[in-house]
Amino acid sequence: MSVVVPDEVLTATRMTEAEMRQEIAVMLFEREKLTLGQASRFAGVHRVAFQHLLASRHIPVHYGVKDFEQDIHNLREMGRL
């Protein structure tokens, strides 16, 4: 699905297309509609860069036990634990 944002909206908000995508991604992440990975992909930035964006806005990263367990599993698979 594609969403078209009219140029007049970008002009009115004084945002670039990339900035608009980031704003939407942040909002959807904050409302727990997108995961961190989904939001960073939607925003078109690396996951770490998206985390920095969230931190600059004092938005906590939703990181639960399931995420922690997956990270531990991934580290073991890579031989780092």
Flag whether 2 is in a domain: no
CA angle 11, 53, 20 (to 5 degrees): 20
Predicted pLDDT at 72 = 87
Predicted pLDDT at 47 = 86
pLDDT at 64 over 80: no
Question: Which domain, by its residues, includes 40?
Answer: 7-77
Task: Compute the distance between CA of residue 61 and CA of residue 35 in angstroms, rounded to an integer.
Answer: 9
Domain count for the chain, please give it: 1
Confidence (pTM): 0.74
- 44: enclosing H helix or E strand: none
Flag whether 42 is in a domain: yes
Task: Compute the distance between CA of residue 54 and CA of residue 60 in angstroms, rounded to an integer.
Answer: 7
Flag whether 41 is in a domain: yes
Task: Compute the distance between CA of residue 12 and CA of residue 62 in angstroms, rounded to an integer.
Answer: 32
Flag whether 1 is in a domain: no
Flag whether 12 is in a domain: yes
Flag whether 68 is in a domain: yes
Q: Dump pLDDT digits (tens) for 5-29.
A: 899 999 999 999 999 999 999 999 9
Q: How many CB atoms lie within 10 A of CB 39?
A: 24
Predicted pLDDT at 59 = 94
Flag whether 59 is in a domain: yes
Mean pLDDT score of the chain: 90
Flag whether 54 is in a domain: yes
